[in-house]
Amino acid sequence: MLAAVLAWAGLLAGVAGCTSGGARGIDRFFDRPRAAEEVVKVSPDDGSKGVGPGEKLRVRVTGGRLRSVTVVKSQDAQDTPVPGRFSRDRTVWQPDDDRLALAATYTVAVVADDEDGRRVTRRTTFATLVPEKRFIGYVTPEDRSVVGTGMIVSLAFNRPITHRAAVERAVRVTADPPVEIRPHWFGASRLDYRPREFWKPGTRVTVDLRLRDVEGAPGVYGLQSKIFSFTVGRSQISVVDAAAHTMEVRRNGRLLATLPVTAGAPEHATYNGTMVVMEMHETTRMNGATVGFFDADGKSEYDVPDVPHALRLTHSGTFLHGNYWSSPDTFGHRNVTHGCVGLRDVKGGGTDTPAAWFFDRSLVGDVVRVVNSDDRTVAPDNGLGGWNMDWEQWKAGSAAG
């Protein structure tokens, strides 16, 4: 009996000694297939949660070859196939886009042959990180709008951006017909785009935000994947001469009208430089307290609840608007405002006044240039004032180079 046991042990030892891989050789000897998870390796691991965007999705076989790999991304209640490619020997599969989407579940289904030609199937799932903090960009101008030739594309972010180059690369602004368009950062929360010169009338501009899952700051990821577009209308450039108290309005280079105006009084002079119409209001309230104008008693120097035909030119409160409270002989002769440009109007907003005429012929994005005022040039980040910066300075404001 002892001799028989020793003989059987010797036989097993001989089998192990003649086969590479030890236990694996025994499996083959007894024709026992290897487990699917031994043949097909999927990374990240099955059942993983909170997988970071820096991790890579990979499928590989340890011996044999991959027959098919199907990956589905489930995000925002939508299932999307994930395209990918095999290595030349079909032992490795990887996605075309190496960046994992956040707040998503991935399902991986694999069919492979092991090294002995046996069919093996495996299915795994993993979930990616759900960020606690997200950022979005508010785009100016509005989608599908028609704008003037001075419009600057401006993105205002709801959170400070520290990884500016990454965010900049995720934003694409293109024009048809094509023209060079470059970005410029104003601080950590604003990114503007413009061409070298004003847009040509008829240009269609597309803003493609590919910010979804882009890390804008440590632990802060983008939320948007969206396309905006707008069309550039006719060219209208108006030049306010603060010393002459006039505004020349030119449409496509042709003089339409010369209107009498009143600009900023000596103690509140109007900014010089190129400004762009940012907003248009049939009627708006203007209160001096909102822009720091107080009298000796600490009260607002003015509060007009119904300013008609108002076009905003700067964030700091410069408007070109109708004025019904100044005497008619003010316009064209004296500068009496707190920095705005005033056109003659009537209370409630007339229909045949200079202010109404100009308002009816204006677009957001139109250019208003002020000259011969006693104030400094408007800052490039005050409103859409980027045209006051030369092209080389503008290009230097890119984070991506």
Q: Are 228 and 139 in contact (CB under 8 A)?
A: yes
> Hey, what long-range contacts does 2-9 have (CB within 8 A, 24 or more apart)?
none
The β-bridge relationship of strands 119-127 and 145-147 is unpaired
For the residues of 97-141, what is the DSSP string, one character each? S-SPPSS-EEEEEEEEE-TTS-EEEEEEEEEB---SEEE-EEEES
For the residues of 293-304, what is the DSSP string, one character each? -B-TTSSBS-EE
Q: Are 369 and 341 in contact (CB under 8 A)?
A: no
* Catalytic-labelled residue, pool 184, 245, 309, 340: 340
* Catalytic-labelled residue, pool 184, 245, 268, 321: 321
Q: Are 180 and 196 in contact (CB under 8 A)?
A: yes
Is 337 exposed, middle or buried (CB count within 10 Å of its CB: 0-12, 13-18, 19+)?
buried
The β-bridge relationship of strands 319-323 and 273-276 is unpaired
Q: Are 383 and 275 in contact (CB under 8 A)?
A: yes
Dihedral angle over CA of 377, 383, 386, 388, nearest 10: -10
Length of the chain: 401
Active site residue 340: yes
Q: Catalytic positions, please? A: 321, 340
